Structure 1
Amino acid sequence: MQPVPSTLWLTGLSAAGKTTVALAVAESLTAQGVPCRVLDGDAVRKQLCSDLGFSRADRSENVRRVAQWCAQINNTGTWAIAALISPYRDDRERARQIVGASRFHEVHVATPLSVCEARDPKGLYRSARAGAISSFTGISDIYEPPQAPALSIDTDRQSTQACVLATLALLGMTIASARPPARLA
């Protein structure tokens, strides 16, 4: 028996590996015939939340909208995998309430700031350090790590496949994939 379609909420710093893990989990779920949808923070910002900036109020509204979307996705019998920085605990708790506590699984992608900054695929940390980006999470704005996440993973110390295995174990599932997920760069 498959678990009830729920929301995996992957939170962590920029370049922590949230989207990589989300896509690999989705690939494994899909291989098992489990319908799922990945909501990537960057894509959501361009689509559903293009009218929002990066103030605390706008970040809160971004999280609220994504949580609403996740709840709707779950109600259709589909898993939602949200990969968002979502830096504030209060916002993530509000997301849990919107989705429903029994269907909300918070996964902290706890990759250290130094590793995320070294990866910096979009040059955002470099720009934030140079003062070109204000209110950048982890540099000029806070990130409040979850106090009691359902799972904590570190993409610097764990392979993508190990992160997927741990995430699926949290859900009472096992991995099913024709090929192992790629390692983070």
Structure 2
Amino acid sequence: MSVRITAPVAGLNGTGVGGLQFENSIAETDNQAIIDYCIAQGYTVEPITDDGKPAGLDELTIAQLDELAAVEEIDLKGHKASKQTRVDAIEAARKAKAEQEQQDALDHTYVVTYKDAAGDEVKVDYIGRDVDQVREAFGSAEEYLGAEILTVDEKLTGEPTEQA
């Protein structure tokens, strides 16, 4: 199945991964290895019809829907009764993925527990994208202030919930 790949970088022109020729951030391929790589790197992948236009899910055959689900790593188990159940499952999975990506992009509050130069344990709230970013930000404080990070916990409902 041929797919249209849209790079996450706007205005990309030229040769990309696997020899893909991007024009205005869009390329086409049927090479499964390249498709898999692009999905893993956050590129948008859409099946295309014979006329070169992006295909709506309703326009795809059952075999194409199954292949698309495999490419996008969508489990169709329990959703193979009909073409429409496949379409519904793919749409639901795409919606859930988009919502998760949106949530993941939000900053989170972390509780950083550290030991200061005097040996006292201190807890502070810090806003960051992920535990690694928070640890990196506090890394210089460790060196500069003689502090030692003990834990970084994600704060979801007022209590630390995820030990880093």
TM-score by length of 2: 0.25
More strand by share: 2
Larger relative contact order (CA 8 Å, sep ≥ 6):
1
TM-score by length of 1: 0.23
Which of structures 1 and 2 has the bigger CA Rg?
2
